[in-house]
Amino acid sequence: MLKPYLQLSRYYLFWCLVALTLYLLLKQFPYIIDLTQNKQHTLSDTTVSLLQKIKSPIQLTLFSDNSDKLLATQTLVQLYQQHHTVDFNKKRPTGADKLVVTIDNKNQEISLLTQDLDESNLTKAIFETYRKENQWVAFLQGHGEPSPFGEDKASLGWFAQALKNQGLKIQALPLYETQVIPDNTQLLVIANPKTELLPKELELIRDYIQQGHNLLWLSGPDETPSLTPLLTSFGLKKLPGTVVDVHGHKMGTPHPAITIIDKYPHHEATQAINELTAFPWTAAFKLLPAHTTAPSPWQSTAILNTHPKTWTEKGAISGNIEYNREKGEIPGPLSIGFVLHQAKKEEGTQKIVIVGTAKFLSNAAIANYGNLSLGMMLANWLSSDDSLLNIPYPAVKDLSLQLSPFTGWILEHGVRWVLPLFILMGLWVHQFRRYTRSMRFSNLIKAG
């Protein structure tokens, strides 16, 4: 009589070992299926692209004794581990709940006391850690330029905040006070200064460029002419007047002085942009003939070209405006943005971007169309971090998930309890039927 029970025990022991093996495999190689409507538990393309570019392993260390925070962190980390080598450790807290991100001996902390850990702030921390130390973006100030810290419509505060979110540090640079451009300046931004720059300031900017540093120059029709010699040294000339776009205005832009760009040449600085971009009150440029300037080492590419139905308006942009050739107005297509690059003396490439307006990155316009995406792509190209060029700027996702009460109950309780119970009952019934059949067969033999 003991033999059937031993067989039954071996049978259950076998399936327990199978279940344990599956558990260990899933724990070692986690696989998550996201059934939410907006893929809330799937990493965004932005994060996946970044992880694919990082060569070094990422170390995450959680300092917390809160079981809920531990579970939430482990669940999020598993998503990152599907795309990159991520080592996760837990240590006893040192007075505050936090998560420490480490890449190549560089650390970044995320405080868990005032915020919940999610993909947004974890990816931001990875961005900041992955960036080289002391990467500063300096905005020239003191000549009527928009402020990188302002919140009014004309300021560049939102653009500066987006740069900070990608790990860069922002500073205002009044050259008449500092009288130096710091050595750790990764990128200098000149945003449409309206008053004349002092000779010493111009000299500092020229020295900065001659040393091989990068420049983002957001010009404008009303920019001070004191920067004209610098523009000429790049082999460019600003066309007089403001670009008007009657084609875009007929398509619905609120003003003809807003220029719409919908096509971009194949260039690494714009290869990931596939949206419209809008440029209010912009100037156009043209390349100077080679015989009029000294030989230039710069290689220039026009990346922002207007629709043919545009021109450089020299008069007031109001009422019924028309192209007037007699006034010297130049018809489109026009080039309102250039990228320039040249080989550095030692190693690498020096890069410069010149755009005919600073208003497209102002707080009033940066959220329109793909302006923010374009601004970040240009900044990433200029900051010499080519690994971020193909990463679109994260957009806000819809966080709603609509489930029927029955579906919600199935997902919450059915899969967790009912399904395993049915499996166990099925195994028990199957084994019980085998046992009763064997007993019946045994009794028939005895009876015979």
Question: How do residues 164-213 score in pLDDT, each as one tens digit?
Answer: 877 788 999 999 998 999 888 889 999 999 999 999 999 999 999 999 99
In angstroms, rounded to a whole number, what is the distance separating the alpha carbons of residues 237 and 233? 10
At residue 90, does pLDDT exceed 90? no
Q: Are 126 and 99 in contact (CB under 8 A)?
A: no
Same domain, 373 and 428: no
Same domain, 412 and 284: no
Same domain, 432 and 306: no
Q: What is the pLDDT of residue 286?
A: 94
My answer on whether omega of the bond before 146 falls inside 30° of 0, hence cis, is no
The one-letter code for the residue type at 28 is: Q
Q: What is the pLDDT of residue 5?
A: 52
Same domain, 98 and 217: no
DSSP assignment of 350-373 equals EEEEEES-SGGGSTTTTTSTTHHH
Query: The pTM is what?
Result: 0.66
The secondary structure of 113-174, three-state, reads CCCCCCHHHHHHHHHHHHCCCCCEEEEECCCCCCCCCCCCCCCCHHHHHHHHHCCCEEEEEC
* Domain extent at residue 92: 45-129
Same domain, 254 and 374: yes
Q: Are 108 and 128 in contact (CB under 8 A)?
A: yes
At residue 362, does pLDDT exceed 80? yes
Residues 6+ apart with CB under 8 A from 70: 62, 64, 90
At residue 305, does pLDDT exceed 50? yes
Would you say residue 29 lies in a domain? Answer: no
The enclosing H or E element of 34 equals none
Last residue of a domain, which of 89, 108, 129? 129
Would you say residue 95 lies in a domain? Answer: yes
The secondary structure of 257-304, three-state, reads CEEEECCCCCCCCCCCCCCCEEEECCCEEEECCHHHCCCCCCEEEEEE
Percent of the chain with pLDDT strictly greater than 70? 77
Would you say residue 251 lies in a domain? Answer: yes
In angstroms, rounded to a whole number, what is the distance separating the alpha carbons of residues 114 and 188? 34
Q: What is the pLDDT of residue 66?
A: 82
Structurally, the chain folds into a number of domains equal to 3
Q: What is the pLDDT of residue 345?
A: 78
27-64 pLDDT, tens digit per residue, is: 555 555 544 444 456 788 778 888 887 888 999 999 88
Last residue of a domain, which of 80, 107, 129? 129
Q: Count Cα atoms within 13 angstroms, Cβ side, for 274.
A: 4
Same domain, 382 and 421: no
Q: What is the mean pLDDT of residues 1-11?
A: 57
Q: Which of 22-26, 110-114, 330-334, 345-349 has the lowest mean pLDDT?
A: 22-26
Q: What is the pLDDT of residue 35?
A: 46
Same domain, 351 and 223: yes
Would you say residue 17 lies in a domain? Answer: no
Q: Are 278 and 371 in contact (CB under 8 A)?
A: yes
Q: What is the mean pLDDT of residues 133-153?
A: 90
Would you say residue 148 lies in a domain? Answer: no
